[in-house]
Structure 1
Amino acid sequence: MADLIDNSEDKTIPMHPSFAGVFDKKQAIKKKLSSIRYKIGVYSAKGGVGKTTVSVNLAYALKDKGYKVGLLDADIDCPNIPLFLGITDKINATRLPLRTFEKDGIKISSTGMLVGDIEKPIIWRGPIIAKMIDDFLLNTDWGDLDFLIIDLPPGTSDAPLSIMQLLDLTGFVLVTTPQKISGENSVRSGLMAKRLGIPILGIVENMSRDYDARFTNEVSNKLNTDILANIGYDEKFNHFSDSGKVAIESDGKIKDEFYMLADKIIKLYITK
């Protein structure tokens, strides 16, 4: 039996090659994006809650307050940020590093600026989606930024998982709406982030109704995080996004709501 006893001092368990690859890539991305101070994901496992609305208007609010801002559309197969901003310009995907498109002083990148025709859907499997995310993080020239706002797709699979695993995020802003199903999915979103060790900066209740916030309060309690903002339901959001206009640049009330959200993120989480 003595022959079966390992008397060597080195008890290190070898790292599986796949984990080593993720670690190496994460370190490369960290170095590549070292000139970006804060990286904030806008996320929910449920679609249709207004993640893009929050991402775009938060980015513009931070820009208006004097910060250098980038906006990454990480919804690879259903990119909406170019539509929200009325961007029709295209990025040359054959040359690396990819260049960002700058609008109103914000650096923007999206697969919507790589694919020329909205009627040609992006039908990609997971590995290609992951490769595209790599290009946005490793092969895009973002330059020096204070904030990179990342509009994530819904769900808990390839694209959001890649972002969570590879990027040293400052934290997530979770977006929900005042419905039970949205609240339950928001809890799922938050638990996924916590499991991967990513801070939750807080919750934004979009399409908020003054008379009922009980499900959002439940999300706040279950995740032990604050409600950062209650963005009121307003049909003008649809008009602005359909016409490629930014809501906070066009409506004073909406502007005030997103300025308050930006101030909370800056004061409560970023500068403390």
Structure 2
Amino acid sequence: MEGSLRDITRDVEIDQNGNLVLHIFLPRRGVEDILKIKLMNALGDIEGLNSVKVRFYTAQAGQPQQPPQGGMPQIPTLGPGLPPKRKIPGIKRVILVGSGKGGVGKSTVAANLAVALKKAGYKVGLLDADIYGPSVPTILGLKNAVVSVNDNQKILPVEKNGLKVLSIGFMLPNEETPVIWRGALLMKAIQQFMFDVDWGELDYLVVDLPPGTGDVQLTLAQNLILDGAIVVTTPQDVALADVKKAVAMFEELGVPVLGLVENMAYFVCPNCGERSYIFGKGRVEEYAKRKGLEILAQIPTEPSVSEASDRGEPVVEAYPESLTAKAFEELAQKVVKKVPIPQ
């Protein structure tokens, strides 16, 4: 660790199961979330560590700015910090879909989960918060869609087959236009998507996050009351290593992790229907068991499914009898069970 971090670390605890807790004293509020993410990214790959938690202590007005050396600071409460989290008006539940890295099919999972919830009779919205790589318009066949505003200057989502959808992709000249924004502008855009949109009355808002652990995740966690997060992975070790960071991030930000979705879990032969575990088997189950997480769904790889996505047809609608569609419907059922609509 750098010297400055050693200076503010007051205690380190680690148990026999590899659960690490850092106790850190800060002279002021405002940097906790960023520091948490940096610490988890730095420590997350250490062999033998199962989880990393950070506990912050902050001096309040009239109290000493440095605690006694050699022990925990005698400061039981934190000073004034961020404004209280809010709910989006009219939306009952907000579910995040994230991943530790790109290329694992996160957006496909988010889109088909939203469609499956809608087919189950719920009022559903889908927010594509992957600002730098919006793929929801392609998956849902909405590449030519544009948004409008109402008389109150609120953005109106695009609606398709009863599903309300919003993506930065609807606001770009074409799908090849890059979004080149700094963090402050990115966070402002996310805040607009949260509170300057007329979603109407929704049971569930599914949010497709960008991959990794960054500004968008922090902005949502700091501003919104979130009901849960689903983390998408594939069976490979390289994907699973980053999933551990994503799970740790949600835990540290106080977002309940509903479970994991293992995408591309196996290949289904289009001729004989035989299953082949081309990316390996068992790694995700082992990690989930160690963390006490549920595998909410194991999504197969079927050629027809990939073709449907390229055509802008979610598999839940295009091939409702396929193994993939059934897996997404089971995922939706588990989400409803874990996060029911309040009566």
- Normalized per residue, the structure richer in helix is 1
Is the CA contact (8 Å cut-off) linking 1:58 and 1:258 kept in structure 2? yes
Superposed, 1:199-218 pairs within 5 Å as 199-209=256-266, 211=277, 212-218=280-286
Residues 1:83 and 2:83 are matched in the alignment? no
1:116: which partner in 2?
173
Q: Matches of 2:169 and 2:113 in 1, distance apart?
A: 20
Please state whether the residue corresponding to 1:198 is helix, strand or coil: coil
Q: TM-score, normalised by structure 2?
A: 0.70
Unaligned runs of 5+ in 1: 1-5
Q: Do the aligned residues in 2 keep the contact of 1:62 with 1:69 (CA within 8 Å)?
A: yes
TM-score of the superposition, structure 1-length normalised? 0.87
Which residue of 2 is the match for residue 246 of structure 1? 314
- Size of the alignment, in residue pairs? 254
State the alpha-carbon separation in 1 of the partners of residues 100 and 218 from structure 2: 11
**How far, CA to CA, are the matches of 1:60 and 1:228 in structure 2?**
17
CA distance in 1, matches of 2:309, 2:297: 20
Q: CA deviation at 1:237?
A: 2.8
Shift of 1:180: 0.6
Question: Residue 135 of structure 1: CA displacement?
Answer: 0.6
Partner amino acid, structure 2, of 1:102: E
Which residue is 2:336 aligned to?
266
Seen in structure 2, the aligned counterparts of structure 1 residues 256 and 133 have a Cα distance that, compared at 3 Å, is same
With a CA cutoff of 8 Å and minimum separation of 6, indicate the structure with the bigger relative contact order. Answer: 1
Partner of 2:46: none
Q: CA shift at 1:93, angstroms?
A: 7.1
Residue 215 of structure 1: how far off its partner (Å): 1.6
Query: Alpha-carbon deviation of 1:74?
Result: 0.3
Q: Which is further off, 91-100 or 244-253?
A: 91-100
1:14: Cα distance to partner?
4.7
Shift of 1:229: 0.7
User: Does the Cα contact within 8 Å between 2:93 and 2:341 map onto a contact in 1?
Assistant: no
| Residue 54 (1) aligns with residue 122 (2) | no
User: Which structure has the larger Rg?
Assistant: 2
1:67 and 2:122 are equivalent in the alignment: yes
For 1:149, give the aligned amino acid. V
**Distance in 1 of aligned mates of 2:77 and 2:210:** 38
* Partner of residue 3, structure 1: none
**Aligned AA (2:298):** N
1:167 to partner: Cα distance: 1.6
Q: Does 1:43 align with 2:98?
A: yes
Q: Secondary structure at the match of 1:156?
A: coil
User: 1:187 is matched with which residue: 237, 244, 249?
Assistant: 244
Partner Cα separation in structure 1 for residue 245 and residue 78 of structure 2: 32
Q: Which amino acid aligns with 1:90?
A: V
Q: Separation in 2 of the partners of 1:235 and 1:244?
A: 15
| TM-aligned CA distance change 1:35 to 1:214, over 3 Å | same
Cα RMSD of the aligned pairs, angstroms, is 2.2
Q: Of 225, 231, 255, which aligns to 2:325?
A: 255
Q: CA deviation at 1:13?
A: 6.5
Determine if contact 1:184/1:219 at 8 Å carries over to the other structure.
no
Alpha-carbon distance between aligned partners in 1 of 2:263 and 2:336, rounded to the nearest angstrom: 20
Partner of 1:101: 158
C-alpha distance in 1 between matches for 2:77 and 2:262: 46
Q: Deviations over 1:173-225 (max 9, x none)?
A: 11010101111111111011001111011111000126443221133124321
2:185 counterpart residue number: 128
Q: Is the 8 A contact 1:68 1:106 kept in 2?
A: yes
Give the residue type in structure 2 aligned to 1:248.
V
Measure the CA separation in 2 of the matches of 1:73 and 1:82.
9
Deviation at 1:242, TM superposition (A): 1.3
Could you tell me how far 1:267 is from its partner in structure 2?
2.2
Aligned amino acid, residue 194 of structure 1: E
State, as a whole percentage, how many aligned pairs show the same letter.
39
Query: Greater shift after overlay, 154-163 or 140-149?
Result: 154-163
Deviations 1:6-28 (A, max 9, x none): 79xxx98652xxx34xx15x33x
1:34 deviation in Å? 3.7
After superposition, the C-alpha distances for 1:210-248 in whole angstroms (9 at most, x for unaligned) are: 644322113312432100110111222321121111111
Amino acid of the structure 2 residue aligned with 1:37: K
Does 2:218 align with 1:161?
Answer: yes
